[in-house]
Amino acid sequence: MLDNLLGYGQRQRSTAADDLTRRWAAGIGFAAAIGSAYSLVAYVSGLLVVPEGVAVFWPAAGISSGILIAVGSLARWPVAAGVTVGTLAMHLIQGDPLPVGAALGLCNAAEALIVAGLTTRYFGAGFSLERLRHVLGLLAAAVAGTVVSGVGGAITYGLWRGAPLLTTWQAWFASDVIGVVIVAPLVIGLTAALREPLPGSELLEGAAALVGLAVVTMIIISLPPEPWATVVPGALLFPMLLLLAARYRPVIAAAGAFMVSLTVVLTTIFSIGHFGDARILIEYRILQAQAVIVLVALFALVLAALFAGRRESEARLTRSNTMLQRERDNKLMNMQALTAAIAHQVRQPLGVIQANSNAAMNFLSRAPPDLEEIRAALTDVIAANRRVSEVFDSIRTLFGKVDQGRQPIDLNEVILKALHSMRGELKDHDVETRPELTSGLPLVDGHAGQLQEVIINLVQNALEAMDTTSDRSRVLRIKTERRGRDAVVVAVEDSGPGVDPKQLDNIFTAFVTTKTHGMGLGLAICRMIIEDHAGQLTASSDGKNGTLFQFVVPIGLRDG
C-alpha cells in the first residue's frame, strides 16, 4: 500500500514537472517567434532613419502591442522578452554596442506593455475594433506608451551619439505612434478573424476591394508633382477607404490602411513617386508621408468602428423583432394548446354524462321505472359534471402557474377515484383491472385534480392501445410503491401491442401522436403536470408486449 502511495506521488510530481516544462517550452517558442518577426521588421524599418539615428517608421511597435492586446496578459512576458531580444539582435547586426541595443530593447518592450496594459485596463479583454470608444482608446494608449518610451530612447541616443533630446524624442514618438496606429489594428483584426472567420463571400469581396485600393494607391503615388499642389495628399484614397469601412468588418479596413501606409513607407524609403521626389527635402517628404499615414489610419479605423456599431445596432434590432415575433407566435401556440387541452380533457367526462343520461332515460321508460339504476346513473352524471369543473380548475392552475389546490393527498385514493369514474369504459372495453396499491403510502403534496387527470389519461391511452388487439387478454395493471425515503412511484401497464422503442422519446412531445386520431396533447399535458409536481414521467416498451408508464413524485413537496 505504501509503495502504491509513493508511486502515485512520484507520478503526480512527474506530471506536474512535464506540464511546467511544456509551458516553459511554449513560452520560449512564442518569445522566439515574436523576437524573429520584430527583428526582421525593425531591420527593414532601419533602412530610413533621421540624422539622430531613429527610424522614420517603426511598424514593429504595432506588432508587439497588437499581439499583447489580441492574445491577452498570458503573452505579456514572452512578448516583452521577444521584443527586447529582437531589438538587441537588430542593433548587434548593425554593429551597435550591446548596452545600446539592450536599452532600446527595454524601451520598446515597455512601450508595448504600456499600450496593451492601458487598453486592457480601460476596455477589458474584449477589445474590439467595432467600437469607436475602443479605437479612440487605442490611439490614446499609443500616444501614452510612445511618450514614455520616447523619453528612454532619447536619453539612450543622447548618451550614445550626443543627439538632441527633443528632436530625437519627436522622431521616436512620430515613428512609433504611426507603427502602433497602423499595424496593431491589423493584428487585432486578424486575430479576431481567426477566432470568428469571415464568411467566404465577404472575404472574397474584401480581397477584391483591397486590390482595387492598391491600384488606386499606386496611381496616386505615380502622379506628377503638379496635382499634389492642389490636392490634399491621399484624399483620392478616401472613397475606397469609405467603401471598405462601410461594407466590411473593421479588419478589412485595417488591412487597407496598413496596405496604403506600407506603400507610402516603401516609396519614401526607396525614393519612388511623389514621396521620392528629390526636389523635395527628405524632412518634408517624411513629414508628408507621416501626415498621409495618420490621416488614412484615422479615417479608416474611425469610420470602420462607426459603421460596425451601426451594423451591430441593426443586428440587435433585427434580433429584437425576431424575438417579439417568436413571443407572439408562442402566445398563439399557448392559446391553441390551452383550447386543445380543454377539449381533450373534458371529452371523457362529457361522454360519461351523455352515456349515463341516455341510460337514465332508458330506465325511466321501463314499467315500472328502475329507480335504483336511475339514481346510480344520475350520481355518475353529477360526478362527471364535478370532474369537468375540476378539469377547468386544473388547466387554469397548470397554464397559469398558480399554486392553488396543493394539499397532502393519498395517491391510492386518487387512483381508485379515477378507476371508479372510468369503470363503465373499462367494462365496455372488456378490460380486467389489476390494482396493486401499496398500503400505508406517505401523503404527497400536490393537486389532486391534476394527478387524477394524469391517471385517467394513462388509463385512456391503455384502453385505446388494447382495443387494437384481439389475440390476447386485455389486462390493465396499476401499481404504487414507495421509492427510497422521499418519493412514490405509480406504474400503469397495459397488455396492448406496445410502442415502437424508436418513438418513445417523442410520445411526450405536444402535437405528436402515434394514433390515427387525436392531437397528441394527452401525454404532453401529463408530463407537464408531473414536472410541475417536481416529478418525472417515463415510458418503456419493447414494441410487442404492452407499454409501461411510470411517474415518480416526491414526498412532501412545497413550492416556494
Highest averaged pLDDT of the listed ranges 92-96, 220-224, 358-362, 431-435? 431-435
Identify the pLDDT of residue 552: 93
Paired with 436 in beta bridges are 479
Give pLDDT, residue 19.
65
Alpha-carbon span 274 to 416, nearest angstrom: 99
**Of the spans 9-18, 74-83, 369-378, 533-542, which averages the highest pLDDT?**
533-542
pLDDT, tens digit, 9 for 90 and up, residues 102-116: 998 899 889 989 998
Higher pLDDT, 143 or 286: 143
Residue of 469 and 16 predicted with greater confidence: 469
% of the chain residues with pLDDT over 70: 79
Confidence label for 231 from pLDDT (cuts 50, 70 and 90): very low
Split at pLDDT 50, 70, 90, the class of 493 is very high
pLDDT confidence of residue 286:
77
pLDDT, average across residues 319-341: 65
Domains of the chain as residue ranges with CATH: 1-197 (1.10.1760.20), 408-554 (3.30.565.10)
pTM: 0.50
Amino acid 114: pLDDT: 92
- Residue 404: which pLDDT band, with cuts at 50, 70 and 90? low
For helices 250-269 and 282-364, angle between their N-to-C axes, nearest 10 degrees: 170
Give percent above pLDDT 90 in the chain.
Answer: 10
Name the band, by pLDDT with cuts 50, 70 and 90, for residue 494: very high
Decide which of 5 and 295 is more confident.
295
The pLDDT score that the predictor gives to residue 229 is 45
Instruction: Output b/e per residue, 205-235; b: 16+ Cβ within 10 A.
Output: ebeebbeebeebbeebbeeeeeebeeeebbe
pLDDT digits (tens, 9 = 90+) for 297-307: 877 877 788 78
Task: Kindly compute the dihedral angle of the four CA atoms of residues 474, 550, 335, 330, in this order, to the nearest 10 degrees.
Answer: -130
Name the pLDDT band for 512 (thresholds 50, 70, 90).
Answer: very low
pLDDT of residue 288: 75
Over 80: is that where the pLDDT of 4 sits? no
Q: Quick one: which of 486, 515, 484, 511 has its CA closest to 499?
A: 515
Q: What is the pLDDT of residue 526?
A: 84
- Residue 560's pLDDT band (cuts 50, 70, 90): very low
Residue 145 neighbours by CB distance under 10 Å: 25
Q: What residues does 445 pair with on adjacent strands?
A: 408
In the DSSP assignment, the letter for residue 205 is H
How high is the mean pLDDT of the chain? 78
Query: Does residue 9 surpass a pLDDT of 60?
Result: no
Please say whether the beta carbons of 34 and 41 come within 8 A: no
Q: Tell me: the pLDDT tens digits for 188-214?
A: 888 888 877 777 777 787 777 777 777
Residue 479 has pLDDT above 90, yes or no: yes
**Residue 518 or 273, more confident:** 273
User: For position 371, what pLDDT does the model report?
Assistant: 77
More confident residue, 117 or 230: 117
User: Can you give the pLDDT at residue 232?
Assistant: 52
Residue 521 has pLDDT above 60, yes or no: no
